[in-house]
Amino acid sequence: ISSPALFQVAALERQIFDFLGYQWAPILANFLHIMAVILGIFGTIQYRSRYLMMYAVWLVLWVGWNAFIICFYLEVGRLSQDRDFIMTFNTSLHRSWWMENGPGCLVTPVLNSNLAPEDHHVITVSGCLLDYQYIEVVSSATQIFLALFGFVYACYVSKVFLEEEDSFDFIGGFDSYGYQAPQKTSHLQLQPLYT
């Protein structure tokens, strides 16, 4: 798999699991990231350094977003998953899809719970081989690693494109001998007219 394809697969994987968990903020960020990856691929194919520079700027923002997600799921500082519903824009109580569907997780509904708001149910999750927070952290760390690789790639390729534009020989005459117009060759010799 080539590196642009790997970036797309990683972004699409992230998008699918965020859709399954109704995580609206990550869905929006993932959509923008997918568009930026397409823009970066287009810039590479079409030799457009400006698109690659825009892609590199986006990757800096993408690293920041993924660092925030890591801090959110590890509850760094004042962030709390129980209190803050940032990932759903405070529109629902949904959590990460991995919370109920992680490897080895056993979900048990709690019947007749007074803790559940209307139209919701309370569950207990046990037996997970890896808690959902750590799955989300690993996913974001992978995105950061890919973004750093992509940033270096975009900067290098953009630099190469800019150097090629600067050294391009437009007419075939930017050399030390100066420009010489092509000689006309004709079978008909023109003679001066005297009157």
Q: CB neighbours (10 Å) of residue 70?
A: 19
Q: Is 83 exposed, middle or buried (0-12, 13-18, 19+ CB in 10 A)?
A: exposed
Q: What's the length of the chain?
A: 195
pLDDT for the residue numbered 64: 95
C-alpha dihedral sign at 180, 181, 187, 188: negative
Enter the tokens of residue 17: 């699991």
Q: Is the pLDDT higher at 64 or at 8? A: 64
- pLDDT in the model for residue 24: 84
**Residue pLDDT, tens place only, 5-28:** 777 788 888 888 887 877 888 888
pLDDT at 61: 96
Contact 11, 33 (CB under 8 A): yes
| Cβ–Cβ < 8 Å for 43, 49 | yes
Closest by alpha carbon to 135, among 160, 187, 100? 100
The pLDDT score that the predictor gives to residue 40 is: 86
Q: What whole-number distance in Å separates Cα of residue 122 and Cα of residue 182? A: 84
Question: How far does CA 139 lie from the centroid of its chain?
Answer: 13
Tell me the three state secondary structure of residue 106: strand
pLDDT of residue 178: 52
For 100-153, what is each residue's pLDDT tens digit? Answer: 777 887 877 777 656 555 555 566 777 778 888 888 899 999 999 999 998 998
This prediction's pTM: 0.70
Q: Which of 62, 19, 12, 57 is nearest to 4 (CA)?
A: 12
Position 106 scores a pLDDT of 81
The CB-based long-range contact list for 113-121 (8 Å cut-off, 24+ gap) reads 117/93, 120/93
Write out pLDDT tens, residues 79-107: 776 665 667 766 665 677 777 777 887 87
Q: Where are the beta strands (DSSP E) in 19-173?
A: 106-110, 122-126
